[in-house]
Amino acid sequence: MITAVMPNYARTDFALIRGEGMYIWADDGRRFLDMGAGIAVNGLGHCHPRLVAALRDQAGRLWHASNLYRIAGQEKVADLLVARTFADTVFFNNSGAEAVETAIKMARRHHHDGGRPERFRILSCEGSFHGRSLTDLAAGSNEAHRVGFGPLPEGFDHVPFDNLNALRAAVTDGTAAILVEPVQGEGGIRAASPGFLKGVREICDEFGLLMVLDEVQTGNGRTGRLYAHEWSGITPDILATAKGLGGGFPVGAVLATEAAAAPMIAGTHGSTFGGNPLAMAAVGATLGTVLEPGFLDQVKDMARLLWSCLADVVGNHPAVLADVRGQGLMVGMRCVDGVENGRLVGKMMEHGVLTVPAGENVVRMLPPLIIEESHIDEAVAALDRSCREIARDAAPTAGGGTI
Ligand SMILES: *Cc1c(COP(=O)(O)O)cnc(C)c1O
């Protein structure tokens, strides 16, 4: 018989019931160090006092108001994002999938209103993940996610990730935009090489395309900058974000330049819940904290420490781990062939640490940005122990046993 909760996730036996800072508790009494943060969502850890206070305060005043009215929290958060990023304007919605979908709609409408309606195709990368709406499935490249859900919307072309020549060669008169993740998340924590985003910007400029970044996972401080593209010195035309934006409250946003967003006049797009007062209180408190002087410097310091510790563990366990990859506190460790990533995630869980699997046989660490040295020690010790046990189980028994 089907479970009351639709069974489209393979879930753990235990339920998570309480969180505080870097830790989360299960209903069987176990405590875990949370190195997954709800897949890069709980950027300030669990029940951060500033977030709790902001939501409590908002909950006592106004939960929801339609976008037919001005919403004070939206104006405050949009002003902050406009002041601290490339964006001139911001649209709020409820998830990453919607943010990417909105970005794609904007890119098409931009060319439509610019007198080039034939430009509706989006170029994106192999290995990418852009969400689970039909349009986002067409933009992403995971074949397994699409099975049985067709037909998907028209107008998506894919090229190998991190390959500027292939990208340039794929541009046609029908191309509207290039859509990329600065670091592919679900695809296996694959960071583009340093010049890639700059090259994408140049191709967009040369052919009059919009550069659209999917920073749903890389954004909101995850890599040590507010948005990951800041490392490359370029700015996109449109950026979709979500995950860490509300520190655990479901909320997404599309940031855009004035030129890119010009067609989005009243009536073109909408969302009932998008940017509601509760969500905006959560975003205001999250971004307010992440943008405090020194916060992102601490993220960078902790990322450096985590990377150097993980490099040691990888070096010590060549029978289990192949490499460390990613950027900032978005870290992947690729398991060698023959060691399934789910096995390492399971071992880590046995040793009290939550991690998340990703594509290419990778185990992800996406810890809350408030991580400290002691937590890194704890996570690395559990990883070392997990690798030792996996290597020992795999090794032929000393002495041969049955001679
Ligand atoms: C998670 C993710 C999405 C989808 O976000 P949802 O909130 O699950 O809809 C889109 N793009 C990237 C890069 C993501 O990591």
105-123 tens-digit pLDDT: 999 999 999 999 999 999 9
pLDDT at 355 over 90: yes
pLDDT at 400 over 50: no
Query: Is the C-beta atom of 187 inside 6 A of ligand 1?
Result: no
Distance 243 CA to ligand 1 centre (A): 7
Query: Is the C-beta atom of 101 inside 6 A of ligand 1?
Result: no
Confidence of residue 193 (pLDDT cuts 50, 70, 90): very high
pLDDT tens for each residue of 134-188 = 999 999 999 999 999 999 999 999 999 999 999 999 999 999 999 999 999 999 9
| 401 CB burial (10 A radius; 0-12, 13-18, 19+) | exposed
pLDDT at 229 over 90: yes
| pLDDT score recorded for residue 394 | 81
Distance 317 CA to ligand 1 centre (A): 32
Mutate to test the pocket of ligand 1, among 189, 243, 254, 364 (most ligand atoms within 8 A of CB): 243
pLDDT at 396 over 80: no
Confidence of residue 403 (pLDDT cuts 50, 70, 90): very low
**Largest Cα–Cα distance in the chain?**
81
For residues 212 and 238, the answer to whether their CB atoms sit within 8 Å is: yes
pLDDT at 96 over 80: yes
CA–CA gap between residue 129 and residue 127 (Å, rounded): 7
Query: Is the C-beta atom of 222 inside 6 A of ligand 1?
Result: no
Query: Is the C-beta atom of 254 inside 6 A of ligand 1?
Result: no
Average pLDDT, the chain: 97
| pLDDT score recorded for residue 398 | 54
Residue nearest to atom 15 of ligand 1 (CA): 217
* Shortest-distance atom of ligand 1 to CA 181: 13
CA–CA gap between residue 112 and residue 109 (Å, rounded): 5
Amino acid at 319: A
Q: What is the fold, at CATH topology level, of the domain defined by 16-34+294-394?
A: Aspartate Aminotransferase, domain 1 (3.90.1150)
What is the CATH code of the structural domain delimited by 49-290?
3.40.640.10
Query: Is the C-beta atom of 185 inside 6 A of ligand 1?
Result: yes
Query: Is the C-beta atom of 214 inside 6 A of ligand 1?
Result: yes
Confidence of residue 401 (pLDDT cuts 50, 70, 90): very low
Give the pTM: 0.97
| pLDDT score recorded for residue 74 | 98
Distance 217 CA to ligand 1 centre (A): 7
Confidence of residue 72 (pLDDT cuts 50, 70, 90): very high
- The two beta strands, 210-214 and 183-184, are unpaired
Query: Is the C-beta atom of 217 inside 6 A of ligand 1?
Result: yes
CA–CA gap between residue 332 and residue 325 (Å, rounded): 5
pLDDT at 132 over 90: yes
CATH 3.40.640.10 residue ranges for the chain: 49-290
Distance 249 CA to ligand 1 centre (A): 14
Distance 46 CA to ligand 1 centre (A): 20
Give the percent of the chain with pLDDT over 90: 97
Distance 384 CA to ligand 1 centre (A): 30
Distance 392 CA to ligand 1 centre (A): 36
CA–CA gap between residue 296 and residue 212 (Å, rounded): 24
| pLDDT score recorded for residue 341 | 98
Distance 224 CA to ligand 1 centre (A): 19
Q: Residue 245: which of 217, 278, 212, 214 has the closest Cα?
A: 217
Mutate to test the pocket of ligand 1, among 41, 42, 130, 273 (most ligand atoms within 8 A of CB): 130
* Shortest-distance atom of ligand 1 to CA 136: 10
* Shortest-distance atom of ligand 1 to CA 250: 7
| pLDDT score recorded for residue 70 | 98
Count Cβ neighbours within 10 Å for each residue of 334-360 and write b for 16 or more, e otherwise: bbeeebebebbbbbbbebebbbbbbbb
Distance 330 CA to ligand 1 centre (A): 14
CATH 3.90.1150.10 residue ranges for the chain: 16-34+294-394
271 half-sphere exposure, CB direction, 13 A CA radius: 18
